[in-house]
Structure 1
Amino acid sequence: MIFWMGGPAGAGKTTISRLLAAKYGFHWYSVDAHTSDHEQRAAAAGLHVLGSGPGDFDRRPMIIEDIQALPGETSVVVEGAFVTPTMAGVAENAVWLMPSKDEQLARLEGRNPGGEHGGLVWGWELIQSQLEGTDARVIVVDGQTVEQTLKAVEQQFGALLAP
């Protein structure tokens, strides 16, 4: 089983997905950590020009290929800013952690005080636009603790988490 967790930068995806994977004995897979590899593979396939930014190519086939190469039959939690509703779908095995723009900027500032964070808002806008009008499972994370967000994710995934 693949559990998809998306959201913009600063939403808590990495923290929550790592905790979820550890708690249930799942593999953890960060799309963001594989960005360079995905760009190189996409460039080799003629889908991307290296050095032109993160690219607008479909990462899903590479993610699935990477997951199939993992040992065993263990479920995988896939997370990252590139996990969009268009890529992952909006089924019961996908959830999006969505802060408000103000919350996102506050979290990014807490992570990197004084940094330029405006460039990371594009992810919020992209994901929000893809979520509109769908039945996607969205958790608004404003004001939530890590524990509260983890519990909300577990509730959203429900019976899928059972062994």
Structure 2
Amino acid sequence: MNEESDVDDADIIWIGGPAAAGKTTVSRLLAAKYGFHCYSVDAHAFDHEKRAAAAGLHTLGTGPGDFDRRPMIIEDIQALPVRTTVVEGAFVTPAMAGVGRNSVWLMPSEEEQVARLERRNPGGDHEGCVWGWGLVRGQLEGTGACVIVVDGQTVEETLMAVEERFCAILG
């Protein structure tokens, strides 16, 4: 159990990675298949910013911030009716999730990410997402985190790889 709550770390499956890695799609499919809740850290980013600002940890309007989101995520999960939760997002870091058996990062190569972003938004400005790819890659270096390289994989193949990673948790 985690000291900050009554949410057991085994009740959380953490899935991180940069934009267009397949985190949200795979997390939703995994949650639906096993009856878990899916929690998007990215979707709660502004709420987390406001909560951090109210606690004096962040100044609104200065970007996403580098405050610790984990206590807010745990608090949110405690309020859910379904205990086991798949927590996903680009803001999921090894420092937040740990690198144990309940965390994984989906990583495309930079070229694959750009191709996926272009399919998602043809002609769009992808510079920030590519910068985020480098940030996530840097966060993973030297951590021993489990990384699934998603280049050339279908959604089904990525889901199978994630299920294999979490087979002990999924039963």
Q: TM-score, normalized by length of structure 1? A: 0.96
State the alpha-carbon separation in 2 of the partners of residues 70 and 34 from structure 1.
Answer: 14
State the alpha-carbon separation in 2 of the partners of residues 122 and 60 from structure 1.
Answer: 23
- 3-state SS, counterpart of residue 65 of structure 2: coil
Where does the alignment leave 5 or more consecutive residues of structure 2 unmatched?
1-10
Matches within 5 A, 1:94-109: 94-109=103-118
Aligned equivalent of 1:122, options 131, 139, 147 = 131
1:113 maps to amino acid? P
Pair 1:15-2:15 in alignment: no
Pair 1:69-2:91 in alignment: no
Aligned equivalent of 1:87, options 86, 96, 100 = 96
State the alpha-carbon separation in 2 of the partners of residues 130 and 40 from structure 1.
Answer: 25
The number of residues matched between the two structures is: 161
State the alpha-carbon separation in 1 of the partners of residues 79 and 123 from structure 2.
Answer: 40
State the alpha-carbon separation in 1 of the partners of residues 79 and 158 from structure 2.
Answer: 30
Does the CA contact (< 8 Å) of 2:17 and 2:92 recur in 1? yes
Does the CA contact (< 8 Å) of 2:94 and 2:143 recur in 1? no
Does the CA contact (< 8 Å) of 2:15 and 2:103 recur in 1? yes
Q: How much is the aligned-residue C-alpha RMSD, in angstroms?
A: 0.9
| Percent of residue pairs bearing the same amino acid type | 76
Q: Deviations over 1:94-126 (max 9, x none)?
A: 000000001111111111111100111222112
| TM superposition outliers: structure 1 runs of 4+ over 6 Å | none
CA drift of 1:86 comes to: 1.6
Matches within 5 A, 1:26-65: 26-65=36-75
CA drift of 1:19 comes to: 0.2
Where does the alignment leave 5 or more consecutive residues of structure 1 unmatched?
none
